[in-house]
Chains A and B, each alone.
Chain A
């Protein structure tokens, strides 16, 4: 029982990280119907910007959680702004000129941008892994029996809480604010939205900036939790997050979160009770099974043919 609980904590944390990145994939897809494959690499850039900011400010570890969070909010703000600029530039240079051309074109440029960002960071920051000493360390013992202690760290709590807050916040943004209304209008029919006076270009740009800022938060959390980053993390984490978004139903924010949690929990429990060697096989098999029976994903709306 204790063992199960500890693995549950591990799985929820891992799933929240996947979910945090998946929200960015799903937001962009929900509005312009395009998978932004460069999102994983924007996440990686955000994580590097966070690391550089932390080094510039000379932030070191503290056991005071509230002071730590205060400082990190500042770091997060800086890397969100910089990643936002990346997001805006990518959309402006690589996607907007191709809007209205055939569907696969922006997909190809997205892969191009992804490769460019990886090589750019590799060339400027070097290929070695970059370690960071723990900023928020410590945690507490949740349960303890004579032979097994269930531990939860402050970072794990922070990641899960933050992911839920961001998901709730952006669900509210899309369903209740005027920006959200404009976004949904663009999703339904871009031409009609334009005729009704919605500035489609600004709406899409804003979506990319928000998506990139979210990726920066995810990048910072990843950096703080694992303490090691390299130029390749965008690819490996991005693939899992993309899978989470598809599993949950692309376009649905709660779906991205749910998908992330499902993938994270499957991976962890498969490793816990069977073999750690084949946990990815288990996760992707689950994806295939879900897509066979629910092609729109767990929480996605079925595609309606517009006539």
Chain B
């Protein structure tokens, strides 16, 4: 009798185990700068990521399973990014939405590709991420620096013909790549910058560079880099009585720039993915983010779209197996708040969009008057 009850209980335990396995939650990774100088962008990622997962779970999950978010902090440090990638591989997440900085995404993509794990970057724009794609499981839902640089270069060449232009970057993979593409576009339009140089990110004193720009009588400064350094450059330019037009790329898309630069931030312009909240079709989702206390910023909706794209691919593949989902992703065609998403053979979106934005009274907004 005792024996029977034991074997019965073993059986019951076995049933319990298999049933939990069938309904085990599926974990989905997110990687970005949750702490560090660029934590502002990590917060945008987190808001979009969590919102998308909440929505999926509220509508019954993906393939009937609940999604659990796993967040990795790479601080935009390439070494940390590889550690986070290995951690994600160890945790066997279904896919990773990330990373933010191109300098992190590129080394991390090699780890994911080796394991066949899916990576969808909502923010990394360096061309190498897909031009030198580490494997078929690497995708991005954002545009590319050659697209962005072409827009910036063409605009500068047209609007500031004959003026002195300087191009600076911060030596990071993202910034150096974008500066290179912008430079190419400038030269293609027959303009030669008076200065092409780099600064060291993380420092606070850029006065030497500012004086140099002043002595070269620079009218337009194109700076490719993240917003903390941009803020200091603009502030120190104003302090030295310099009035050059500041132009930058999509890493300027946080109002923290204006807090650092102060009143001098007014009039700074940059290329950025369009403000998708201006699209009436997105009103509901934008209001939903605002109600949660995390109003939509540049990358919020891209992280959100990244999760939704993965979910659509997993649903059409009918499995979480990354090989099948990768195949489905290559064929995916889905409407998201950031537009229609469809990948080309390299894992880039087929129709990336950029729009000019400008800072006014401490806030940035899409500015269609810049053409």
Q: Which chain A residues have a beta carbon within 8 Å of chain B's beta carbons?
A: 2-3, 6-7, 10-11, 13-14, 122, 126-129, 131, 133-134, 139, 141, 147-149, 151, 153, 222, 226-228, 230, 232-233, 236, 267-269, 271-272, 275-277, 279-280
Contact = CB atoms under 8 A, between A and B. Distances in A.
Which 3 A/B pairs are nearest by Cβ-Cβ distance?
Answer: A127-B35, A271-B208, A10-B207
A113 B222 CA distance: 41
Contact of B212 (A131, A149, A236, A271): A271
9 contacts: A14-B207, A127-B36, A128-B37, A129-B260, A153-B239, A228-B231, A228-B260, A230-B37, A277-B171
A158 to B, nearest CB: 14
A272 B262 contact: no
A228 B171 contact: no
Category for how many chain B residues contact A = 20 to 34
Contacts of B256: 128-129, 131
A151 B237 CA distance: 11
Interface string B256-287: 10011010000000000000000000000000
A10 B211 contact: yes
Contacts of B232: 226, 228
Contacts of B203: 236
Contacts of B212: 271-272, 276
Contacts of A227: 235, 260, 262
Given A128-B40, A228-B204, 20 more contacts: A6-B214, A7-B208, A7-B211, A10-B207, A11-B208, A126-B39, A127-B39, A129-B256, A139-B239, A148-B214, A153-B239, A226-B204, A228-B231, A232-B37, A236-B202, A268-B207, A271-B212, A276-B198, A276-B199, A277-B171
B46 to A, nearest CB: 13
Interface string B185-229: 000000000000111101111011101101101000000000010
B228 A228 contact: yes
Nearest to A14: B205
Contacts of B36: 127
Contacts of A6: 211, 214-215, 240
Interface of B: 35-37, 39-40, 171, 197-200, 202-205, 207-209, 211-212, 214-215, 217, 228, 231-232, 235, 239-241, 256, 259-260, 262
B207 A13 contact: yes
A70 B183 CA distance: 49
Contacts of B215: 2-3, 6, 148
Contact of B209 (A128, A133, A151, A276): A276
Contact of B241 (A141, A267, A276): A141
Nearest to B214: A148
Contacts of A7: 208, 211
Contacts of B262: 133-134, 227
A232 B241 contact: no
A230 B205 CA distance: 14
Contacts of A141: 241
* Central interface residue in B202, B211, B214, by most chain A CB within 10 Å: B211
Nearest to A61: B262
Contacts of B197: 275-277
Contacts of A280: 200
B278 to A, nearest CB: 27
A233 B203 CA distance: 9
Nearest to A230: B37
A279 B207 CA distance: 13
* Central interface residue in A122, A233, A276, A279, by most chain B CB within 10 Å: A276
A6 B236 CA distance: 13
Contacts of A277: 171, 197-200
Contact of B240 (A133, A151, A236, A275): A151
Contacts of B200: 276-277, 279-280
Nearest to B171: A277
A228 B258 CA distance: 12
Contacts of B204: 222, 226, 228, 233
Contacts of A232: 37, 202
A89 to B, nearest CB: 26
B178 to A, nearest CB: 17
Contacts of A128: 37, 39-40, 256
A67 to B, nearest CB: 20
A236 B205 CA distance: 12
A151 B228 contact: no
B239 A267 contact: no
Nearest to B204: A226
Contacts of A267: 208
A35 B24 CA distance: 54
A277 B200 CA distance: 7
* Central interface residue in B36, B40, B208, B214, by most chain A CB within 10 Å: B208
Contacts of B39: 126-128
B223 to A, nearest CB: 13
A2 B215 CA distance: 9
B272 to A, nearest CB: 20
Contact of A129 (B209, B228, B235): B228
B35 A122 contact: yes
A119 to B, nearest CB: 11
A150 to B, nearest CB: 9
A277 B209 CA distance: 10
A279 B262 CA distance: 27
B163 to A, nearest CB: 14
Given A128-B256, A280-B200, A272 B241 contact: no
